[in-house]
Amino acid sequence: MVDLIPREHLFGNPTRYGHQISPDGRRLGWVAPYEGVLNIWSAPIDDLDAAAPVTTDQRRGIDAYAFAYDGRHLLYVQDADGDENHHLYAVDLTTGERRDLTPIPGIAAAIVGLSRIMRDRVLVAINDRDPRFHDIHSVDLATGARSLVIENPGFAGFLIDERYAVRFAFRNLPDGSSQLIARDGANWKPWLTFPPEDARVSGAENLDAAATALFCRDSRGRNTAALTRIDLASGETRVLAAHEEADIGAVLQDVETHEPVAYSVTHARKSWHVLDPRFADDFAFLETQGLGDWYPASRTEDDALWIVVARADTRVGEAAIYDRRAKRLRSLGSARPELEGAPLAPMSPSIIPSRDGLDLVSYLTRPLDAQGPGPLVLLVHGGPWARDSFGFDGIHQWLANRGYAALSVNFRSSTGFGKAFLNAGDREWGRRMDDDLSDAVAWAVAQGVADPARVAIMGGSYGGYATLMALTRNPEAYACGIDLVGPANLETLVRTIPPYWEAMRAQLHRAIGDPDTEEGMALIRERSPVYFADRIKAPLLIVQGANDPRVKKDESDQMVAAMERGGIPVTYLLFPDEGHGLVRPANRLAFFARAETFLARHLGGRCEPIREAESSGTSMQVVREG
């Protein structure tokens, strides 16, 4: 029997991750613990032993940051206990001085532009004037002085050139289509429209450096999104790249011209394709280094040095500096070196057929000592406009190590597989999207992987909703379920979205139903698990962050109350200092310790004793013990 991998090694703080290189190539940044809390660190690239923390947060941690082009400042964003009202901060790497560039109560700010030309300023979106829409401001990095670039009259966003000139705006229309609007002085005029069936797959991406060409992902007239180039003067459109099975993924741009030089495509696995022959040797070299589904995470301004990150099933976030001239990798180590030599299990991509003929790209991880059918945990991703992919997955490894097969399924509505697959989920929440999950379980049973009497379902956000809906719709199919921040009532979900999601309301109505219409409201009630809680037979664990602005605490409260009225057991864990997910390590460890005990009780897998560190320091409240 394989050794138990400590939960802390899988879900505690990583040792170091999120590496970035400064534009001038002189410094590295990364995220690592400082006094037990994740913070940003930095060091000269030629003296990593001189590393020092750039931030010293003592509560929630900080992991989203960027180097400015001025060679002096590092920028990062931080919210309060998961409320997603992020402020933007600048740290002077020379003096250590920290400044809040957006010192306005209650706002949500985001970086929208860093420029090689406007080096001393950052472009920031701030929703202080109207909480629904973000205006664009230019902020001086040294002084914090802020000037309005453009007021947002109701657009979803803007496309801005390197001189911080606003060229286009994005607008979502009531029918679900999206429109690119060109700025003409003080006026706006429609320039390009993506119909409703294309809008979630297609869109404008970036301008070239001269602002003479626009690059788009475009699925019009085809199923998958191609990479296109539109000449702004003539309107001529050229397809630069396309793939029959998957949308164009990441696009690597020339650092000076912003023309695409390479792109990735991910169906079951990621593959890179070179457009510019100057980069052919780089990609050929990196493909020989055993990096799995690797990706470039950061590049210097002269493009001489890259940070590349390995993404393999049993290699954990290994980063390296790639010297393009020398064709040499300098390792920066693993995010979790304590897992080196651990009994990690391989992940296998599989294509599972749905009952109506769709290909469900899925990923299966089995226990190393698996023999014949055993317990299975079906993992449902959030979004639903997201996807699962190949690579190291801590939850897969945790489950496999405890004796469960772990299966992640890209059900209809998942992104990356073309518009037909994505749009097939519209108005199918809790129906055909749930059928896809049932089909995946049936496949695992037929393959001799799963014991049909020992199947659990688990997910967060949309995956939490899918868990609740599966337990009400297929009450005999699952032995238990775990719902993390999942909506229970689609009406209250749509009516209480954060104000800055207003521009995407039409897309939500298209997918779920419009609660302000009789037809839409009927659909919403039919697909909301809160109304069918009395059908649940399997044990259920519900987990909620009290400050979640997307799936508010009331969603879990409603579901628990409905189950209580029916006398149905449920365990409800509440985290007062979390939002849409669990960020604080003590809270993560407390949750996984409880989840592991829960699964062992109902599926019969192995269980590591709860350690003292997993029961202290957490804010977890057991609101109800089922």
- Residues 296/279, Cβ–Cβ less than 8 Å: no
Q: Could you give the angle at the alpha carbon of 43 between the alpha carbons of 12 and 144, nearest 5°? A: 95
Is 267 in the active site? no
Is 81 in the active site? no
Point out the catalytic residue in the list 135, 426, 514, 548: 548
Question: Which H or E element spans position 433?
Answer: helix 432-446
Is 548 in the active site? yes
d(CA 439, CA 444): 9
- Residues 240/275, Cβ–Cβ less than 8 Å: yes
Place of tokens 């896809």: 436
First and final C-alpha spacing in the chain: 32
Residues 6 or more apart whose Cβ sits within 8 Å of residue 158? 112, 136, 150, 152, 166, 168, 169, 170
Residues 6 or more apart whose Cβ sits within 8 Å of residue 87? 77, 78, 79, 100, 101, 102, 103, 107, 109
Reduced to 3 states, what is the DSSP secondary structure of residue 620?
coil
Tokens at residue 313, please? 């099933």
d(CA 433, CA 333): 40
Point out the catalytic residue in the list 461, 483, 509, 528: 461
- Residues 5/606, Cβ–Cβ less than 8 Å: no
Q: Return the amino acid letter for 289.
A: Q
Point out the catalytic residue in the list 19, 267, 509, 580: 580
d(CA 16, CA 24): 22
Residues known to be catalytic: 461, 548, 580
